[in-house]
Amino acid sequence: MENMLEVKNLRKRFGQNEVLKGVSLTLKKGEVLSIIGSSGGGKTTLLRCLNFLETANSGEIVVNGKTVYRAEDGEKPELTPEAQASFGLVFQQFNLFPQYSVIDNLCLAPKLKAKREKQDRNEEIEAKARELLETVGLSEKANAYPCELSGGQQQRVAIARALMLSPEILCFDEPTSALDPELTGEVLRVIRSLKDSERTMIIVTHEMEFAKGVSDKVIFISDGVIEEEGTPEEVFVNPKSEKTKAFLSGGSK
Amino acid sequence: MEMFLDVLSQLAGGFVTSFLLFILTLILALPLGLLVSFCTMSKFAPLSMLSKLIVWILRGTPLMLQIFAIFYLPGILRLFIWPQMNTGWEWFDTTFSTRFIAALVAFAINYAAYFSEIFRGGIQSISQGQYEACQVLGMSKREAFFKVILLQVIKRIIPPMSNEIITLIKDTSLANTIAVYELIFEAKEFMVIDALIWPLFMAGAFYLLFVGLLTIIFGLIEKKLSYFRS
């Protein structure tokens, strides 16, 4: 099967500090990739580069065989809407729009897109929004405002919102780190259900047990390089790198 | 009693002028202030420097001085540039509407400077995550600002904005220094011509009532926007 995503030699510097020192990875359709590693290692920066919230200094991003981003050192390529639309992102802090109801949070961006394309698809968009709310189990909250929801519910809305534009690859940036422990379960369950529907996902997470259970592939990033990669078995059970072993044993304390 | 009604109608006329100055200043200064705040926040250094310089001057000198400057400067400049065009001081003999416009321009740019700083504070207080969410959802910067950011900014700036707007209605009295027949000007006429002091206090009551009304309006807006937290 062909690779859905290919990342080639991605590098990112902040001033003198090189955070990503040439990261390459591949992902097939329907696969789930978990990225683990200690804070400051570059995993969030990698995710932000994939979503174009940071501009990688050099490297290439290929989605479905099409190069959506390529930069040589020193140049800043133009970001196309197609490149942006290839990826969806769920934030650690949810970042719902507080003044819009749940359903309007989902519909805002697609409706603006339809308006740009001079099409009237409002009914279709609203139907899709209700369908996605059902997927994340929040149909009855369609007209609630974000401030009336718990953190877990807000994150489930954020997941539905990210799915509205049907991204090829859905990314999660520590989706449960801002949640109380008793609320992480509902969010993880939603992510697991997305895996069952063959959605391609990249998850930056500290939930090792979850990563072990849900992933097809795990990457351990340390100091801006991929220190170890493989199946959950290979990385969690039989890590080869000393750094990975140290990280995993530290994490389980 | 007759005197009282006479004063009341004169003051009411003056208040209409004050109110016009107030509302037209708002209509001009609010968008202008937003524009200035964008200039101040611009990444293009010369623009933001210029904008900060102008805001410094407008906030750093008395409003009364600015009214004089805007009212007198065009005439004085003309005197220097085309002295032959002036046979005397006739340029000084302006109509009411030019005096009103001079005052309006002075108020609009002065308040735009203050508003711009309130806007800037409000805009910069919105979390980066809101902009990032808009970006990953494919919205343009313009859509993000007008559809997502602006209402959150408005909610946050209502308390400082209501302060400034309440100050504005009272500042309109400064226009009496260039003989714009606003509320205080009319009240002073009674003091000078009829040796009456109480019309001045009555003028005060006009301001007080109007500020009461503004307070209620701002309260309603705050309540209207209380359905969300940001």
Model confidence pLDDT, tens digit, residues A87-144 = 999 999 999 999 999 999 999 999 999 999 998 899 999 999 999 999 999 999 999 9
Cβ–Cβ gap A81/B138 under 8 Å: yes
- Chain A: give the shortest CA distance to residue B49, in Å: 25
User: Is the distance from CB of A165 to CB of A173 less than 8 angstroms?
Assistant: no
**pLDDT, position A252:** 46
User: Is the distance from CB of B125 to CB of B159 less than 8 angstroms?
Assistant: no
Task: Tell whether B125 is within 8 A of chain A (Cβ).
Answer: no
Cβ–Cβ gap B137/A109 under 8 Å: yes
Instruction: Find the mean pLDDT for residues A169-177.
Output: 93
- Chain B: give the shortest CA distance to residue A112, in Å: 7
Q: Express as a percent the part of chain B with pLDDT over 70.
A: 95
Cβ–Cβ gap B135/A52 under 8 Å: yes
Distance CA B16, CA B186 (A): 11
Domain B2-228: top CATH class? mainly alpha
Q: What is the pTM of this model?
A: 0.85
* Contact list, B136 vs chain A (CB under 8 Å): 51-53, 84, 87-89, 162
Residue B76 contacts by C-beta under 8 Å, 6 or more apart in sequence?
A: none
Cβ–Cβ gap B137/A108 under 8 Å: yes
User: Is the distance from CB of B168 to CB of B107 less than 8 angstroms?
Assistant: yes
Distance CA A217, CA A194 (A): 16
Residue A206 contacts by C-beta under 8 Å, 6 or more apart in sequence?
A: A36, A174, A177, A251
Kindly write down the DSSP assignment for every residue of B118-139, as one continuous string: HHHHHHHTS-HHHHHHHHHTT-
* Contact list, A87 vs chain B (CB under 8 Å): 136
10 Å CB burial of residue A240 (0-12, 13-18, 19+) is exposed
pLDDT at B113 over 80: yes
Instruction: Find the mean pLDDT for residues A22-47.
Output: 92
Cβ–Cβ gap B137/A97 under 8 Å: no
Q: Express as a percent the part of chain A with pLDDT over 90.
A: 70
* Contact list, B138 vs chain A (CB under 8 Å): 81, 84-85, 109, 113, 165
Q: Cα dihedral angle (B64, B68, B71, B76), rounded to 10 degrees?
A: -170
Cβ–Cβ gap B136/A51 under 8 Å: yes
Q: Express as a percent the part of chain B with pLDDT over 90.
A: 80
Q: In what order do the strands lie in the sheet with A66-71?
A: A17-28, A3-14, A58-63, A66-71
Which member of A88, A145, A147 has the closest CB to residue B136? A88
Q: Which of A42, A147, A253, A85 is nearest to B139 (CA)?
A: A85
Residue B173 contacts by C-beta under 8 Å, 6 or more apart in sequence?
A: B18, B182, B183, B184
What average pLDDT does chain A have? 91
Instruction: Find the mean pLDDT for residues B20-36.
Output: 97
Cβ–Cβ gap A85/B148 under 8 Å: no
* Contact list, B129 vs chain A (CB under 8 Å): 91, 93, 95
How far, CA to CA in Å, does A75 sit from each of A21, A59, A80, B200? 17, 11, 15, 68
What's the number of CA atoms in the CB half-sphere (13 Å) around residue B164? 23
What average pLDDT does chain B have? 91
Instruction: Find the mean pLDDT for residues A132-159.
Output: 94
Residue B73: phi and psi, rounded to 5, are -55, -45
Print burial letters for A121-132: b (CB count within 10 Å at least 16), e (below 16): eeeebbebbbeb
Distance CA A216, CA A197 (A): 14
- Chain B: give the shortest CA distance to residue A81, in Å: 7
Task: Tell whether B127 is within 8 A of chain A (Cβ).
Answer: yes
Q: What is the pLDDT of residues B185-226, one digit of tens each?
A: 999 999 999 999 999 999 999 999 999 999 999 999 999 999
Cβ–Cβ gap B135/A146 under 8 Å: no
Cβ–Cβ gap A91/B133 under 8 Å: yes
The structural domains of chain B, with segments of one domain joined by +, span 2-228
**pLDDT, position B92:** 56
- Chain A: give the shortest CA distance to residue B144, in Å: 9
Kindly write down the DSSP assignment for every residue of B6-22, as one continuous string: HHHHHHHHHHHHHHHHH
Cβ–Cβ gap A109/B127 under 8 Å: no
Instruction: Find the mean pLDDT for residues A2-26.
Output: 91
Name the pairing type of β-strands A3-14 and A58-63: antiparallel
pLDDT at B89 over 60: no
Distance CA B124, CA B169 (A): 28
Q: Which of A28, A73, A79 is nearest to A50 (CA)?
A: A79
* Contact list, A81 vs chain B (CB under 8 Å): 138
Which member of A52, A146, A165 has the closest CB to residue B137? A165
**pLDDT, position A1:** 64
Instruction: Find the mean pLDDT for residues B119-139.
Output: 95
- Chain A: give the shortest CA distance to residue B121, in Å: 19
Helices (H), chain A: 43-50, 81-86, 102-116, 122-135, 151-163, 181-196, 208-214, 232, 242-251
**pLDDT, position A22:** 92
Kindly write down the DSSP assignment for every residue of A45-84, as one continuous string: HHHHHHTTSS--SEEEEEETTEEEEEE-TT--PPPPHHHH
Task: Tell whether B60 is within 8 A of chain A (Cβ).
Answer: no
Cβ–Cβ gap A162/B136 under 8 Å: yes
Supply the ipTM of this predicted assembly.
Answer: 0.91
Cβ–Cβ gap A53/B151 under 8 Å: no
User: Is the distance from CB of A161 to CB of A170 less than 8 angstroms?
Assistant: no
What's the number of CA atoms in the CB half-sphere (13 Å) around residue B105? 16
CB neighbours (10 Å) of residue B133? Answer: 26
pLDDT at A253 over 50: no
